[in-house]
Amino acid sequence: MPMPSLLLTLNAGSSSLKFAVYETHDQLALIATGQIESLGPRATFFVKSTAQTTCSTRFTPELGEGGHAAAVDAILRWLEHAHPGTCVAAVSHRVVHGGVEHLVPARINDALLADLERLVPLAPLHQPHNLAGIRAARAAFPDVPQVACFDTSFHRTHPFVADTFALPRSFYEEGIRRYGFHGLSYEFIARHLRSHDPVLAQGRVVVAHLGNGASMCAMHDGRSVASTMGFTALDGLPMGTRCGQLDPGVVLYLMAEKGMDAMSISHLLYQQAGLKGISGLSHDVRELQESDSPAARDALVYFADRGRREIGGLAACLGGLDALVLTGGIGENAPQVRAMMLSGMEWMGIHIDLEANLRNAAVISHPSSRVRVLVFKTDEEHMLATHAAELLAL
Whether residue 339 sits in one domain with residue 267: yes
**Residue 93's pLDDT is what?**
97
Indicate the residue among 125, 150, 175 that finishes a domain: 150
Which neighbouring-strand residues pair with 150?
Answer: 95
5-64 pLDDT, tens per residue? 899 999 998 778 999 999 987 789 999 999 998 887 888 888 998 865 555 666 677 777
- Would you say residue 262 lies in a domain? yes
Q: What is the pLDDT of residue 1?
A: 45
225 within 8 A of 159, measured Cβ to Cβ: yes
State the pLDDT at residue 345.
97
To the query of whether residue 247 is one of the catalytic residues in this protein, the response is no
Q: Are 369 and 349 in contact (CB under 8 A)?
A: yes
Q: How confident is the model at residue 378 (pLDDT cuts 50, 70, 90)?
A: very high
CA distances from 202 to 193, 247, 321, 322, 323 (A): 9, 35, 12, 10, 10
Phi, psi values for residue 292, rounded to 5°: -95, 0
- Distance between CA 158 and CA 225 in Å, rounded? 5
Residue 383 lies in a domain: no
Q: Which of 284, 306, 288 is nearest to 297 (CA)?
A: 288
pLDDT at site 140: 92
> Which residues, including other chains, have CB under 8 Å from residue 366's CB and lie 6 or more apart?
351, 352, 353
Predicted confidence (pLDDT) per residue in 341-353, tens digit: 999 999 999 999 9
Q: Which of 151, 163, 235, 322 is catalytic?
A: 151
- Per DSSP, the chain holds a count of helices (H) and strands (E) of 16, 13
Biggest CA-to-CA distance, the chain: 71
| 125, 194: one domain | no
What pLDDT, on a 0 to 100 scale, did the predictor assign at position 56? 62
Same domain as 331, residue 251: yes
In a domain, residue 162? The reply is no
| pTM score, whole prediction | 0.93
The answer on 196 and 103 residing in a single domain is no
Same structural domain, 256 and 334: yes
pLDDT digits (tens, 9 = 90+) for 134-181: 999 999 999 999 999 999 999 999 999 999 999 999 999 999 999 999
Q: How far apart are CA 198 and CA 203, in angstroms?
A: 9
**For residue 317, what are the CA distances in angstroms to 48, 99, 239, 314?**
41, 23, 23, 5
Question: Which residue(s) pair with 218 in the sheet?
Answer: 206, 226
* Residue 358, SS3 per DSSP: helix
* pLDDT reported for residue 301: 98
pLDDT value at residue 65 = 74
Listed residues 93, 127, 150: the one ending a domain:
150
Q: Return the closest-CA partner of residue 6 out of 95, 132, 92, 133.
A: 92
Q: What is the amino acid identity at position 366?
A: H
My answer on whether 235 and 358 are in the same domain is yes
Q: Pairing state of beta strands 323-327 and 372-375?
A: parallel
- The answer to whether position 58 is within a domain reads yes
Q: What is the full DSSP assignment across 260-324?
A: --HHHHHHHHHHS-HHHHHHSS-S-HHHHHH---HHHHHHHHHHHHHHHHHHHHHHHHHTS-SEE
pLDDT tens, 383-393?
Answer: 999 999 999 98
* Position 156 in a domain: no
Q: Going by DSSP bridges, is the β-strand pair 87-95/146-150 parallel, antiparallel, or unpaired?
A: parallel
385 found inside a domain: no
Angle at Cα 240 formed by Cα 236 and Cα 242, nearest 5°?
A: 50
214 with 354, same domain: the answer is: yes
Do 271 and 191 share a structural domain? yes
Claim to verify: residue 225 and residue 327 sit in the same structural domain: yes
Task: Mark which of 150, 167, 196 sits at the end of a domain.
Answer: 150
List Cα–Cα distances, 253 to 234, 260, 317, in angstroms. Answer: 18, 9, 32
**pLDDT for 222-269, tens place per residue?**
999 999 999 999 999 999 999 999 999 999 999 999 999 999 999 999
Q: How long, in residues, is the chain? A: 394
Average pLDDT over residues 56-78: 79
- Do 226 and 130 fall within a single domain? no
Q: Which amino acid is at 173?
A: E
The CATH number of the domain holding residue 93 is 3.30.420.40
Residues 286 and 213 in one domain: yes
Chain segment 303-331, per-residue pLDDT in tens: 999 999 999 999 999 999 999 999 999 99
State the residue range of the domain holding 9.
5-150
Q: Is residue 391 part of a domain?
A: no
- pLDDT the model gives residue 2: 55
Give per-residue pLDDT as tens, 110-131.
999 999 999 998 888 889 999 9
Q: Encode 192-230: b = buried (16+ Cβ within 10 Å), e = exposed.
A: bbeeeeeebbebbbbbbbbbbbbbbbbbbebebbbbbbb
The answer to whether residues 26 and 138 belong to one domain is yes
Between the alpha carbon of residue 26 and those of residues 5, 6, 29, the distances in Å are: 11, 12, 9
Q: How many structural domains compose the chain?
A: 2
- Spell out the residues 6+ positions from residue 267 whose beta carbon is closer than 8 angstroms to its own: none
For residue 341, is it within any domain? yes
138 closest CA partner among 161, 108, 158: 108
Angstrom distances, CA of residue 322 to CA of 229, 299, 314, 325: 22, 29, 12, 10
What was the pLDDT predicted at 16? Answer: 84
Listed residue (79, 74, 73) closest to 3, CA to CA: 79
